Amino acid sequence: MENMHNRIKIRKIPAPSCKICGSRGMQIYNGLQDSLFATPGTWNLDQCQNKECGLMWLNPMPLEEDIHNAYHAYYTHRDDQQKKSRIKQFINIILNHSLKLLLRLTPIYQERKDFNQMYLGGIKPGKLLCVGCGNGNRLVHLADMGWSVEGQEVDPICADIAAKKGFNVHLGTLESLLLPDSSYDAIVMNHVIEHVHEPMKLLMECRRLLSPDGVLISITPNTQSYGHRLFKYHWRGLEPPRHILLYCQQCLTLLAKNSGFNNPIIWTTSANAHHFAGDSLKIIYGNSTLNPFIKIILNIVSKLFLLMARIIHALNKDSGEECVLMLRKEKQIVLS
């Protein structure tokens, strides 16, 4: 692992201004480290001082051509078939089934179902593009819903894993692929936009690719979440250096309008609060040094956190761990 660290180089450039509104930023965190996936280096986070925006970003920012070096051990590089400890597998199955039985008695069950369907459950299936499709797990689920799915991925390792599941995966940045205009009825991005250096260019390209009245769904960590307030610089959603930009509802609204979408719909969800809590606790207690028993305890605590976060979300709709951005490409009216 040490030799791998010595080979990883991520150059940085100053990033004093907000990518959305151009305002100056103020440093809120410094010396952050990648505690989960062991990318070397320390990182600082600034926040936009425009109260109508509030975007957070890495400053200095990793060079776009170097950021692939931060993904050498990332979870999307793992195939589903990798072997796991049978004991750990058994315990996880028991915990997950227990959680599902408990959640059936709460609104969280439907919330998680809607999330897993990328909020497309009430939309007639058509042609769909999953931007940043990773290892293809979500493509499988969306195809089962009746969508004709394609993927896009910049990471060749992830693209290869997804393609082996039988899907057409476009390799390269979305802008470089030159896909046909108005060719998709839906575009989904799950935890993608925070990894992108130029989000406005991405959304504008998505708008070009959407058919008239097509829908774009983007899910990203919410910097105004209860988990961020609780865990602070240990919060899983920060994830330096892969999370280049971090969002809240205000800056997503501004970004969407600047990208040509007139009526953005944005809300927050606590559906995956247990994942954020679990990884945040691993960061606090040292992921690589935890014994299996402690990991089981933290797993249980994280699931209790899900219930608590959902109660808080019922009282404060802005407190969910993730923001959901829904955009539609409006039909153009042709005047005779």
Cis peptide before 180 (omega within 30 of 0): no
- Write down the pLDDT at residue 139: 97
CB 277 within 8 A of CB 228: no
pLDDT tens digit sequence for 246-282: 999 999 999 999 999 999 999 999 999 999 999 999 9
CB 283 within 8 A of CB 236: yes
Neighbours of 21 (CB within 10 A): 17
pLDDT in tens, the chain (336 residues): 444 445 678 999 999 999 999 999 999 999 999 988 889 999 999 999 999 999 999 999 999 999 999 987 776 655 544 445 566 666 666 766 666 666 676 788 889 899 999 999 999 999 999 999 999 999 999 999 999 999 999 999 999 999 999 999 999 999 999 999 999 999 999 999 999 999 999 999 999 999 999 999 999 999 999 999 999 999 999 999 999 999 999 999 999 999 999 999 999 999 999 999 999 999 998 876 677 788 888 888 998 999 999 999 999 999 999 999 999 998 765 555
Neighbours of 334 (CB within 10 A): 5
Give the fold, CATH level 3, of 76-328: Rossmann fold (3.40.50)
Closest C-alpha to 205, from 194, 213, 216: 216
Amino acid at 238: L
Neighbours of 311 (CB within 10 A): 11
User: pTM for the full model?
Assistant: 0.90
pLDDT tens digit sequence for 42-93: 999 999 999 999 999 999 999 999 999 998 777 665 554 444 556 666 666 6
- Write down the pLDDT at residue 284: 93
3-state secondary structure of 81: coil
DSSP E strand boundaries for 70-190? 127-131, 148-153, 168-171, 184-190
Neighbours of 16 (CB within 10 A): 12
Contacts 24+ apart (CB under 8 A), 61-64: 61/12, 61/13, 61/14, 61/15, 61/197, 61/244, 62/10, 62/11, 62/12, 62/241, 62/244, 63/10, 63/11, 63/12, 63/13, 64/197
